Chains A and B, each alone.
Chain A
Amino acid sequence: MIDIMTAILWLAGSAFALLAAVGVLSMPDVFTRMQASTKASTLGLGCLLIGAALQMGDLASFIRAASIGAFVLLTTPVAGHVIARAAYFAEVPLWKGTVLDERKRDLVRDSRVPSSAQEAGDEPPTGDDQR
């Protein structure tokens, strides 16, 4: 019984890992590649670790597998955030089909108001309410 569960979990985990690698190879953009890469670290590694803990059937190894899973689940969002931030500020080109860039929109909105106020001098502010 435990062998069957372990076999199913390991096959599912390795399939998720392979799909994540294929996604990292075939996605068009850094950010979409990161989105594909997280499947390996949550679903794939989770299934593999649960299978290994079931197969060993031991409290110490179960605690170790759980600690690995908790560590990876905690550090993957941090690493993803840091990579995405660095890639965006290094001006890595986005995919040409990108429909929403909120950071660029906010930069354009925030830079337009002070520059127009500086250039126009005593012209009354037109856009947002500012004193």
Chain B
Amino acid sequence: MLDIVSQVTLVTLGLALLIAFIRLVKGPTLPDRIVATDLFGVLVVGLIAVLAGWSGVRATLDAAIVIALVGFLGTIAYATYVERGDPQ
């Protein structure tokens, strides 16, 4: 049962990633794209958590920690760039 549930979860998270990617492409301003990128990081961390729970490999969670950290730093860097530059 858990195999089917984890596959459904992974497909749903992939669909969420696709929808966030549409916002990343469409976004009229740069802060829209930053919000989409932030959502990307969170969704990828959740996807890796599901993969870790499914496969039982404990080292996969370390990758999730690293991705959460890098996503936060990237968001902060983009936001400071926007605050100094042109929003388009």
What is the minimal beta-carbon distance from A54 to any residue of chain B, in angstroms? 8
Asked if A61 and B61 sit within 8 Å, CB to CB, the answer is yes
Number of chain A interface residues as a range: 35 or more
Which chain B positions have C-beta within 8 A of A64?
Answer: 58, 61-62, 65
Asked if A48 and B39 sit within 8 Å, CB to CB, the answer is no
Binary CB contact string for chain A from 54 to 66 against chain B (1 if under 8 A, 0 otherwise): 1110101100110
* Interface residues in chain A, defined as those with a beta carbon under 8 Å from any beta carbon in chain B: 3, 6-7, 10-11, 13-15, 17-18, 20-22, 24-25, 30, 33-34, 37, 40-41, 44-45, 48-49, 51-56, 58, 60-61, 64-65, 67-68, 71-72, 75, 78-79, 82-83, 85-87, 89-92
* 13 other A-B residue contacts (CB within 8 Å) besides A55-B2, A65-B61: A6-B5, A10-B9, A24-B19, A30-B31, A48-B9, A48-B50, A52-B50, A55-B56, A68-B65, A71-B69, A75-B68, A82-B80, A90-B82
